Amino acid sequence: MIVPGLVFEKRLAVEEKDTALSWGSGTLPVLATPRMILLVEEAASAAVAPYLPEGDTTVGTLVDIRHVSASPVGTEVLCRVTVTEVDRARIRFAVSVTDAFGDVGTGFHERFIVHSDKFMAKAEAKLR
């Protein structure tokens, strides 16, 4: 059961492929903001996946995260997501991304539980 207080952590060793230069979101060899957001989404998705019924998944719907410090290639970042609220299909997470020197990113993320088949049918209807 997905309940407030559920915590999940995911680590990332920052490599060249994770940098702003590589992602095209800047020109410096530090952790790219979009890569940090992907790490948050990976962690939040993995946190709740074991509690979902067969055929259900979650989709990200809101990201409100400040990227407050640079993490160069060779550092490791830790993303910690904590479920703070569950309102029917909406799940809200507090997010903390840190490295050995302190905060890297802080904020909130929301995901919605969806039925995979219904969700994809609605998305694919846009092609018709």
| Residues carrying an active site annotation | 33, 41, 67
Q: Which residues, including other chains, have CB under 8 Å from residue 7's CB and lie 6 or more apart?
A: 47, 80, 81, 82, 83
CB 100 within 8 A of CB 75: yes
CB 14 within 8 A of CB 32: no
The CB density around residue 115, as the number of other CB atoms within 10 Å, is: 13
